């Protein structure tokens, strides 16, 4: 008797719009919007925004605590060709000539330690250069059905070799997984077709900073971190979200990656007490398997979570994009400080 194997579908359900801000909370939002100078293999312009906002009362009255802006030009090979920021930290120009990737984060830890230690929202924008420079070209698939084949045909041989040799880079791209078919015979046709929704909640329009106006092909990485204290216990409550999306020619947005994270932390030690990562949109049906390994972060103090993610969730043990979302939780102690201001 023949057996039929039912393969689960990849998650394709956005959590957008964002929840309305709660009283006595602090929200950090960041975004990187990417556009191309002249076609998919040209330089990219990164338009980056960040904001911390404290909501005081139930009617969502509050005040802006901090903002950051950054403009960068990134080459096709992920090299930083130019970068400007406001505020502009000392040594920022030392990043020019570096390439997006894990090496860039090492360089930033060496040349921008004070920025990282201060919890300035600009650091999250800098940290996201690596991930965005890796996946932003996907946006072209929303406008050109032949983009993937054309990209392979025009890619220099040495870059194509690196592109093809990605087995084991993350949980979803392991040998035998459906995600590897994109390197063997072309990508799945439904990758990146999920409805991304709208980040801004119509009932809370001030819940996000303003985005740059871009026409045509573009890509956006957006993050949100909400922090507040439980009124009775004082436990830190965290609601965080992350999404990679691109506009569609006919309107609306498609999402490629989206996670939502609910967590709690000890108010004194910032030890992670509970963690519920939720995969909302991912490319391949195997991708959500990385969520179980992420639970190993429970018990880790949030100031140490960046190092813990790197040590425990590298390669096929983790999802690159979930790892990014988890590492961003290192910003929570800085946001908690602003609850008391």
Q: 17, 198 in Cβ contact below 8 A?
A: yes
Instruction: Count how many domains the chain has.
Output: 1
14 domain residue, yes or no = no
pLDDT of residue 176: 54
- Residue 102: band (very low, low, confident or very high) from pLDDT cuts 50, 70, 90: confident
321 domain residue, yes or no = yes
d(CA 262, CA 274): 8
pLDDT of residue 171: 46
126 domain residue, yes or no = yes
What would the two tokens of residue 212 be?
A: 């740059």
Which residue range is the domain that position 100 belongs to? 25-143+167-340
Q: Please compute the mean of the pLDDT values over residues 87-97 and round it to a whole number.
A: 96
Q: Please compute the mean of the pLDDT values over residues 217-231 and round it to a whole number.
A: 97
1 domain residue, yes or no = no
20 domain residue, yes or no = no
296 domain residue, yes or no = yes
Q: 266, 332 in Cβ contact below 8 A?
A: no
11 domain residue, yes or no = no
pLDDT of residue 1: 41
pLDDT of residue 284: 73
pLDDT of residue 298: 97
Percent of the chain, pLDDT > 90? Answer: 67
What would the two tokens of residue 118 be?
A: 């201060």
Q: 60, 19 in Cβ contact below 8 A?
A: no
Contacts of 261 (CB under 8 A, 6+ apart): 238, 239, 240, 241, 242, 275, 276, 277, 278, 325, 326, 329
- Residue 43: band (very low, low, confident or very high) from pLDDT cuts 50, 70, 90: very high
Task: Look at residue 78 and tell me whether its pLDDT is greater than 90.
Answer: yes
Rounded mean pLDDT of the chain? Answer: 87
Other beta carbons less than 10 A from residue 55's beta carbon: 23
Long-range contacts of 330-333 (CB under 8 A, 24+ apart): 330/302, 330/303, 330/304, 330/305, 330/306, 331/28, 331/119, 331/121, 331/123, 331/124, 331/225, 332/225, 332/227, 332/236, 332/238, 332/265, 332/270, 332/302, 333/119, 333/270, 333/302, 333/303
DSSP result, 42-76: S-EEEEEEEEEEEE-STT--EEEEEEEEEEEEE-T
3 domain residue, yes or no = no
């Amino acid at each position: 008797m023949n057996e039929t194997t039912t393969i689960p579908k990849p998650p394709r359900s956005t959590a957008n719009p964002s929840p309305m801000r709660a009283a006595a909370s602090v929200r950090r939002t960041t975004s990187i919007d990417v556009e191309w100078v002249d076609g998919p293999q040209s330089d990219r312009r990164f338009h980056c925004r960040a904001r911390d906002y404290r909501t005081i009362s139930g009617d969502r009255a509050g005040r802006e605590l901090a903002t950051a802006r950054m403009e960068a030009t990134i080459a096709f090979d992920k090299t930083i060709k130019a970068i400007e920021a406001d505020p502009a930290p000392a040594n920022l120009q030392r990043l020019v000539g570096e390439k997006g990737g894990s090496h860039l984060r090492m360089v930033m830890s060496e040349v921008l330690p004070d920025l990282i230690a201060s919890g300035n929202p600009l650091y999250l924008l800098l940290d996201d250069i690596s991930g965005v420079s890796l996946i932003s070209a996907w946006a072209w698939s929303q406008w050109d059905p032949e983009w993937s084949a054309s990209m392979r045909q025009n890619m220099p041989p040495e870059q194509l070799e690196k592109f093809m040799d990605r087995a084991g880079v993350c949980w979803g791209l392991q040998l035998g997984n459906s995600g590897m078919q994109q390197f063997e015979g072309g990508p799945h046709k439904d990758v990146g077709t999920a409805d991304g929704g709208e980040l801004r909640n119509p009932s809370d329009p001030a819940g996000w900073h303003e985005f740059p106006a871009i026409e045509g092909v573009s890509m956006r990485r957006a993050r949100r971190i909400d922090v507040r204290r439980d009124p009775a216990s004082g436990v830190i409550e965290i609601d965080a979200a992350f999404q990679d999306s691109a506009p569609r020619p006919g309107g609306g947005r498609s999402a490629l990656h989206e996670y939502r994270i609910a967590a709690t932390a000890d108010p004194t030690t910032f030890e992670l007490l509970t963690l519920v990562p939720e995969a909302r949109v991912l490319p391949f049906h195997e991708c959500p398997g990385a969520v179980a390994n992420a639970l190993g972060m429970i018990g880790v103090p949030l100031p140490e979570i960046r190092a813990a993610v790197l040590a425990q969730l590298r390669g096929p043990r983790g999802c690159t994009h979930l790892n990014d979302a988890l590492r961003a939780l290192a910003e929570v102690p800085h946001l908690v400080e602003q609850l008391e201001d």
